[in-house]
Each structure stands twice: as C-alpha cells, then as structure tokens.
Amino acid sequence: MCKSDRKTKRNTTGFLFKSCLILLLPVSTFAASELEVLKLEVEQLKKDVKQAKEWSNPNSLIHMAGYADVGYISDDNPATEDSFSVGTFAPIFHYQYRDLVMLESELEIELAEDGSTEIKLEYLTIDWMINDYAVLVAGQFLSPIGNFRQNLHPSWINKLPSAPPGFGHDGAAPVSDLGVQLRGGFYLGDMKANYSLYVGNGPEVKAEIEDDGLGGIDEIEFDGVDAEAFGADADGDKVFGGRLGLFPLKSLEVGVSFLSGDATVTEYEGGDPTGGSAPSLDGISGSAYDVIGVDISYQRKAVDLRYEYVATEMSAITIGGFDLQAAEWTTWYAQGAYRFLPSKYEAVIRVSEFDSPHDSNDQEQLALGINYLFSNNFIGKLGFESNDNPNVGQTAYDRWMLQLAYGF
C-alpha cells in the first residue's frame, strides 16, 4: 500500500467516524427522550394500577338485576282488541355492605293503555344478615304468604305468560306489605326448612253500596281486599303472618302460610251512589282478616310440578246499621311443566280457579303453553288460556299470548 492510499484510508475512516457521530447523536438523544416517555408511561400505569387496587377490595357492592317482558295478546273477548304489549320492566337494585346488610329495591314500570308510563315500587327493603339462620327484612316486601308472589311471578321465572287468577293485584293472595320480617333457613336433622314471620300494616278493605233504586241504600257488602303495601296504616290495625317451608324430600317442598289481624273498610268502591247518605267510615272498627295458604312444589330432572291454594276471609261487620256479611276469596292452581331435554322446548299446563264474593269476578281457567328457552334466562312463550265463569250470565273467553321474557 502506498502512502497516498494510507492517507485516503485514514480520510475515509475519519469521515465514517464523524458520520457515525453525527448519526448517533440524534439517536442517543431520541433514545433518551423515549426512555423519558416510557418512564412517564410506567408512572401512569402505576397510578392506574393503584387506582384499580382501590376497587380491588371494596366494602360496598352495587349490582342491578331484574327482568322485562314484551308480547302480543289476542282474545275473543269483545271488550278488548288484539294488541302488542309491554308487560313489565322491573329493574332490581342491590346495594350491599360486606356480608352485613343489603338494600334491595325493585321497581315495576309499565306502559299504560293510554301511552303513559306507570312506575310502582314493588319492594324496598333493608336486609340485616343477623346470623346464618336469620335475616331481618325491614321495609316494603313481597308477601311471603304462599310461593307464587314472592318467588315465581317474574316473567322469566313464571312458565306461562300470565299469573294464575287470584294471584294478581286484585286477587285472593296478598301481594306485598310494609313492616318487619324475620326469615331464613335451617335444618331439622337432615331435613331442610325455611321460614318467614312478619308484622305489617296490612291491607285496606273496600265496601260497595247497592242502591235500592229510590236513592237509598239496599245493602253494603265487602268489595275487595287491597292486600298491597300502603305507605301509611289507614286503620291502625297490624297483621301478623308468615310461612314455614319443609323439604321431606330433597326435591319436594311443602309450605304452609297464615296471616291474621284486623282490617277496616276505608273506602266505598265506586263512591256513594246515593249522593251522600252512605254511612261514614270514620272511626268504624275493623273486622277479623285471615289468610291461609298451602303450596307444594316438586322438581326432578325435566319435571316441574306445583300446587298452591290461598284463601282470604273477612268476618262480618256492621257499618252504620248495615250488616256486611262475611266474605271469602279463594284461589288455587295446579301446574305441570316438562322440558324436552336435550332440546330447548318446554310444555306447560295449568289449571286454576278463583272464587270471590262477586260472581262477575269468578274465573276458571285452563292454560297451556309451549316455551322455547333461547337461554335459561331468555324465554319465548306461546300460551293459550280458556277462561270461563261458572256463574249464570257471565262471559267466557279464550286468549292467545306470545311473550318474550328476559331475566338479567
């Protein structure tokens, strides 16, 4: 290699070295800035993780559950037209502090025929978990009398699109009450049992005036018992009741219920047709109000069988010299369902009868249904009802119902 070649090589090396320095300088600067960015990102992630950890072990939990249903009803009752319907949207709110207390509330939101929205408080309770065998439930609760109202009425649970006659809001079975309830489960040896005991405001009673056609009163009779929770006790009389459920077999539950107290007429249904001669209801005494119920349920594999009976009685009473005769409302249903496993189809049959002091309200019903379980909490139902009133001069009608019910 000659001298000029060595010089050329040194120049080339120097050039390359300088070039590398020029090139690496911004690279190292870039790397330093990227590290800063990474550090910031890590700091932010640490903050996020710390924030997330704040919720990792909360003492309070919030959860919303509930159910809703929509459908279509077609019947041959001349008084009604076939129509699509929104049954009920019933959100349930749960707020819980550890395993000590839970607040539960369900709203019942319905679309009225005139398009307006109706909102009712289905229940609102504060549940104090006293120990493993007792929960104190205070507030407005679903009636523990029987099984349908407290456990089976949500549309995603009820295997037919409708409630059995007499188990709705104007029936023989109490719907809800406002008071204090103690409930829970325990074992009698190997036999499981559950119980509920409560004291509540009780129902309000309505009477109806029959005019004599001459502007006077022919008679006064009990019209109905509004056995729903009222925000205030209009008559001051409390009721006491409860239910005991026993499991003689693992898949068989037998429940007995009772409710007793005094209930007072607080209102004339339909007002006073005589224009002011109706006896005042102020200060009248209450009459004995008693409810008894029996419910039996059996589930095994694809079979689900249920029976329930409820009777409500009002004893005789005198209002303003008019004797109101004792009255009784009774209702029962027997229901069988069979799931065609492994398919998603289910067949249902229900026979029921509601008897009231007013012939026009009596109802005998045969209901049939085919359900398709898209999932265990999303159910399509096709139901048929044959409704009859055994009393002379009363109308009978059939009804078809389609329903989509979703429990969430």
Partner 1 sequence: MKHLFIRKRLSFVAGIFLCTGLSMTHAADFPEKGDFVKGAKAWADNCTRCHNLRDPKELRDDQWITTTFHMRVRGGLTGQETRDILTFLQQSN
Q: How far is the CB of 95 from partner 1 (least distance, A)?
A: 8
Whole-angstrom distance, CA of residue 207 vs CA of residue 212: 16
Q: How far is the CB of 339 from partner 1 (least distance, A)?
A: 9
Q: How far is the CB of 193 from partner 1 (least distance, A)?
A: 8
Nearer to partner 1, 60 or 116 (CB): 60
CB atoms closer than 10 angstroms to residue 83: 11
Nearer to partner 1, 3 or 53 (CB): 53
The SS3 call for residue 137 is: strand
Q: How far is the CB of 165 from partner 1 (least distance, A)?
A: 21
Whole-angstrom distance, CA of residue 343 vs CA of residue 111: 34
Whole-angstrom distance, CA of residue 128 vs CA of residue 281: 39
Whole-angstrom distance, CA of residue 277 vs CA of residue 19: 114
Site for partner 1, rule CB under 8 A = 31, 34-35, 38, 41-42, 45-46, 48-49, 52-53, 55-59, 61-63, 65, 92, 94, 96, 98-99, 102, 104, 127, 129, 131-133, 135, 137, 150-152, 156-157, 183-187, 194-196, 245, 250-251, 253, 297, 299, 373, 375-377, 407
Nearer to partner 1, 10 or 63 (CB): 63
Nearer to partner 1, 145 or 324 (CB): 145
Q: How far is the CB of 69 from partner 1 (least distance, A)?
A: 14
In what helix (H) or strand (E) does residue 39 lie, and over which residues does it extend? Answer: helix 3-54
Nearer to partner 1, 184 or 261 (CB): 184
Nearer to partner 1, 310 or 337 (CB): 337
Q: How far is the CB of 185 from partner 1 (least distance, A)?
A: 4
Whole-angstrom distance, CA of residue 291 vs CA of residue 328: 10
HSE-CB of 257 using CA atoms within 13 angstroms: 28
Torsion of CA 119, 122, 124, 128, to 10 degrees: -160
Cβ proximity of 354 and 367 under 8 Å: no
